Structure 1
Amino acid sequence: MAGPGGDMTPRSAVVVGAGIVGLSTAWFLQDRGVHVTVVERDEVGAGASWGNAGWLSPGLAMPLTSPHVLAEGLHGLADRRAPLSIPVRPDPRLWGFLLRFAAHCRTRYWRQAVQDYLPLLTESLPAFDTLAAEGVEVAAHDASVVAGFGTKRASDGLVRELALVRRLGVPVSFDDLDRDELRTLRPQLSDRAIAGVRLDGQRFVDPGRLLDGLALSVVSRGATVRPRFTVSSITADRGRIAVFPEEGPPVTADVAVVATGARLDDLVRSPGVRTRVRAGRGYSFSVPTDAPVTGPIYLPGVRVACTPYRGQLRVAGTMEFRASDDPMDVKRVDAIVDSARPLLTGVRWDERSRPRVGSRPVTADALPVLGATRQPGVFVAGGHGMWGVTLGPVTGRLLAEQITTGKQPAELIPFDPLR
């Protein structure tokens, strides 16, 4: 894998996974002179990236292991309609994962995790700016995120959390809102939303169009994208990596990057990667509204995110710990509608689109896995939880730096897959 002049910079890479993280990594590898092949088991962006709410929101992209999530998990055991859904069934691996997750739901750990995230949060929007400046059709819209609550007490809780996040170093600007201010900013919020918060300096995108634009850019710069390529194994031989499909010849390169989201464990098992990744499934759909939607709406009490989407409102929510291939549970969609309906008005719920379910990659310590595995020449990029779109490009930039220089950036040390 020696490059020109005898250095050890890889000249070729195969990226497994064509979601936002995989495509971003491919793009930034190309920016460093690496020839890239992208393989994808389905179509480009067909997974959780496409169905994402599309928020570019470093002010909210916090680790999932906040202490109150533990209480939500216990509630989810008793109520299948709760935002956090945990199946009550014998599954030792799932329960082992959840126990490890619960052990991390401590204030002291969460604060440290926020500080670990800080470099990614700070550089997340500039990474999108880099893509846009180089011709990628990002089409990001600057907009505040407006959060609505049924009680002032609940709204004050978010204000306290944002104030803490700001003290920890996250650059975030926010203001309290009363009922009238909420309705002025977001006409879709009903009279039941009596208090809220406006979070400034955020953005949103159409995730499908972003992925299409990123894939088009990667291809125009010389990459090959191969959909319907289901990887069965990855091997190394004499300094070359071979990525084998279920049928047909392998794709070979100097290095491989596994960015398969919630399926990451399928290809890089221990001892290759110590940190396990589970599927935390989310559901989304779009719905017409009587008034135009001017920006993102957040309903923290029911964990529902809403975004302007192709003339309608995209509604996304729930965290369901089930296998990626399990059938869609339509009751989860009904639960999202029932929880959001009281706080929203002018939304034609009965005309909603066919829902989608996507598997977010979740780790027990709420930190992504980014970097080299024990298998020489094989790297991983995943475990971003709900924040893959926000953190995808900055992840790709930092990982491309590590791959091409052989040095782990300081920003990636907390996310080492061998931690």
Structure 2
Amino acid sequence: MNKEVIIIGGGIIGLCSAYYLHKAGHNVSIIDQSNLDMGASYVNAGFLSPSHFIPLSAPGVMRQGIKWMFNKSSPLYIKPRLDVDFMKWTLAFNKSCTAKHVNKSIPIIRDVTLLSQELYSSIKQDEGFQFQLENKGLLMLCQSERMLEEEVKVAELARQIGLEASEIGLDHLKKLQPNVQLNVKGATYYKCDSHMTPQEFMSDMKTYLKESRVAFFTNEKVSDFKMVNGYITSISTNIKNYRADEFVLAAGSWSSFLSKKLSLQLLLQAGKGYRVNTDQDTGISIPAILSEAKVAVTPMHGFTRFAGTMEIAGINQQINKARVNAIAHAVSKYYPEITLSQEDKNNAQSGLRPVSPDGLPYIGRSKKCFNLTIATGHAMMGWGLGPATGKLVSEVISNKKTSLNLDPFHPDRTF
């Protein structure tokens, strides 16, 4: 049965949900508080990374986060504050930082990432989209022997779970990146990874959805919900009220605020990330992560993007110059011939990524609201998991067997 579906949030998760819901025959509307041209879906690294199979909440992360807490230019910055939601999230995050949780999460993350990577290719082929999608793999560049040893262990684990990964020496690295001078001890190489230019996909998808008569309501902020017997009957924005059969909460870092209005307790914190673009000819042709600095490097269409940091400091869009400078400094350390200009740094942008305590997204229905499907909490995996999440959302609403087991992503799970 075709349903009227309203999606709250027009980022990568919202658009992909709209795509698969439309394909399933539903009538879809998207409501977003922005003009759909900014945020995490536009400033991310554009990675489709099966290599990122270890969740953010891993052993040692909280301890390292505490060490970095007083360094505003560190790769992970957690701003201490007296806030009940933040404190609950912190306790749950710390509880999740165990080897047992990591081992349990690895196959889950691998499967959903591989599904999404496959779906990106299918979307491009099926719809004739023109967005960049290249399968050049990903380099993990290391400046210290200690970090290289750690990355080699991760690459070995990747091979054990069926991913194509290996350690490569400096000679092999030079052949892969002949036009770049590198200051590194060595690297690991994941041939399984892909990359793209995010805004190209977003543009293609928005055009397709509009031509498919998906309704867009931009610059409208959802303010309240009306519920009757566990069902949402309507929602209110700053403009008007809307009614539908089904609702999707894909509002990113703002999802936790909206969920409270439904008496749901989604533990989420906004993790701010930064990106700096340069249109200079860097010579970089293969995406990389600067391992010690936690900076992502992506050769996109017409420019190179450097992205990084995880700043958990509440909902704010302010640009911290110290963190931008830290990214620029890392670039010059690993690539001695590349210096980001002051203009490049002045044009830096940030995006807020919704971070769950256990590093897994929330996908599915809560038992407290029968016609709401939740799709948020993807942290740094949001871009890579867009199509998989959208397909799963559509399957839930269409009452179909889901492509993956949703139990690990259940919105009501405890930590």
Specify the alignment match of 1:263 in structure 2: 254
Cα offset, 1:319, TM superposition? 0.3
Q: Measure, in 2, the Cα distance between the counterparts of 1:291 and 1:70.
A: 35
Q: AA paired with 1:345? A: P
Further displaced range: 345-354 or 375-384 = 345-354
Which residues of 2 match residues 137-148 of structure 1 at below 5 A? Answer: 137-148=130-141
CA separation of 1:62 and 1:310: change in aligned 2, threshold 3 A:
same
Specify the alignment match of 2:110 in structure 1: 118
Q: Measure, in 2, the Cα distance between the counterparts of 1:348 and 1:337.
A: 7
Secondary structure class of the residue paired with 2:259: coil
Secondary structure class of the residue paired with 1:123: helix
Q: Measure, in 2, the Cα distance between the counterparts of 1:334 and 1:74.
A: 21
Further displaced range: 387-396 or 182-191 = 182-191
Give the aligned length. 408
Contact 1:24–1:392 (8 Å) recurs in 2: yes
Specify the alignment match of 2:352 in structure 1: 359
CA separation of 1:115 and 1:310: change in aligned 2, threshold 3 A:
closer
Cα offset, 1:122, TM superposition? 2.8
Cα offset, 1:244, TM superposition? 1.3
RMSD over aligned Cα atoms: 2.1
Specify the alignment match of 2:389 in structure 1: 395
- Which of 66, 71, 74 is 1:79 aligned to? 71
Q: Deviations over 1:329-378 (max 9, x none)?
A: 11111122223321113323124150111111101111111111322211
CA separation of 1:196 and 1:143: change in aligned 2, threshold 3 A:
same
- Which of 197, 205, 210 is 1:214 aligned to? 205
Q: Deviations over 1:122-151 (max 9, x none)?
A: 312111122113214443111111121112
Specify the alignment match of 2:144 in structure 1: 151
Overall identity of the aligned pairs, in %: 24
CA separation of 1:28 and 1:403: change in aligned 2, threshold 3 A:
same
Specify the alignment match of 1:95 in structure 2: 87
Secondary structure class of the residue paired with 2:101: helix
Specify the alignment match of 1:322 in structure 2: 313
Cα offset, 1:121, TM superposition? 2.2
Query: Is 2:18 the counterpart of 1:26?
Result: yes
CA separation of 1:48 and 1:124: change in aligned 2, threshold 3 A:
same
Q: Deviations over 1:293-347 (max 9, x none)?
A: 2121211211100101232210100000012225221111112222332111332
Specify the alignment match of 1:348 in structure 2: 339
> What residue ranges of structure 2 are gaps of 5+ in the alignment?
none
Query: Is 2:287 the counterpart of 1:296?
Result: yes
Q: Deviations over 1:92-118 (max 9, x none)?
A: 432332222122111111111113323
Q: AA paired with 1:155? A: L
Contact 1:254–1:377 (8 Å) recurs in 2: yes
Contact 2:93–2:358 (8 Å) recurs in 1: yes
Specify the alignment match of 2:174 in structure 1: 183
Q: Measure, in 2, the Cα distance between the counterparts of 1:252 and 1:110.
A: 41
CA separation of 1:217 and 1:290: change in aligned 2, threshold 3 A:
closer
Q: AA paired with 2:142? A: F
Query: Is 2:192 the counterpart of 1:194?
Result: no
CA separation of 1:130 and 1:290: change in aligned 2, threshold 3 A:
closer
Q: Measure, in 1, the Cα distance between the counterparts of 2:131 and 2:300.
A: 14
Specify the alignment match of 1:205 in structure 2: 196
Specify the alignment match of 2:378 in structure 1: 384
Secondary structure class of the residue paired with 2:132: coil
Q: Measure, in 2, the Cα distance between the counterparts of 1:245 and 1:133.
A: 37
Cα offset, 1:22, TM superposition? 0.5
CA separation of 1:401 and 1:45: change in aligned 2, threshold 3 A:
farther
Cα offset, 1:187, TM superposition? 5.0
Which residues of 2 match residues 362-377 of structure 1 at below 5 A? Answer: 362-373=355-366, 374-377=368-371
Specify the alignment match of 1:7 in structure 2: none
Q: Measure, in 2, the Cα distance between the counterparts of 1:304 and 1:188.
A: 20
Contact 1:280–1:360 (8 Å) recurs in 2: yes
Q: Measure, in 1, the Cα distance between the counterparts of 2:308 and 2:179.
A: 17
Further displaced range: 29-38 or 76-85 = 76-85
Q: Measure, in 1, the Cα distance between the counterparts of 2:45 and 2:280.
A: 17
Q: Measure, in 2, the Cα distance between the counterparts of 1:372 and 1:96.
A: 22
Cα offset, 1:181, TM superposition? 2.7
Secondary structure class of the residue paired with 1:358: strand
Q: Measure, in 1, the Cα distance between the counterparts of 2:351 and 2:319.
A: 10
- Which of 101, 104, 128 is 2:96 aligned to? 104
Q: Deviations over 1:277-305 (max 9, x none)?
A: 11011010102444432121211211100
Contact 1:17–1:260 (8 Å) recurs in 2: yes
> What residue ranges of structure 1 are gaps of 5+ in the alignment?
4-9
Contact 1:39–1:227 (8 Å) recurs in 2: yes
Q: Measure, in 1, the Cα distance between the counterparts of 2:32 and 2:262.
A: 24
Query: Is 2:214 the counterpart of 1:223?
Result: yes
Q: AA paired with 1:17? A: G
Q: Measure, in 1, the Cα distance between the counterparts of 2:62 and 2:205.
A: 37
Q: Measure, in 2, the Cα distance between the counterparts of 1:63 and 1:275.
A: 18
Q: Measure, in 2, the Cα distance between the counterparts of 1:402 and 1:137.
A: 29
Specify the alignment match of 1:6 in structure 2: none
Q: AA paired with 2:176? A: L
Q: AA paired with 1:390? A: G
Cα offset, 1:270, TM superposition? 7.7
Secondary structure class of the residue paired with 1:352: helix
Contact 2:155–2:188 (8 Å) recurs in 1: no
TM-score normalised by length of structure 1:
0.91
Q: Measure, in 2, the Cα distance between the counterparts of 1:273 and 1:402.
A: 19
Q: Measure, in 2, the Cα distance between the counterparts of 1:147 and 1:56.
A: 15
Contact 2:13–2:390 (8 Å) recurs in 1: yes
Q: AA paired with 1:118? A: R
Specify the alignment match of 1:49 in structure 2: 41
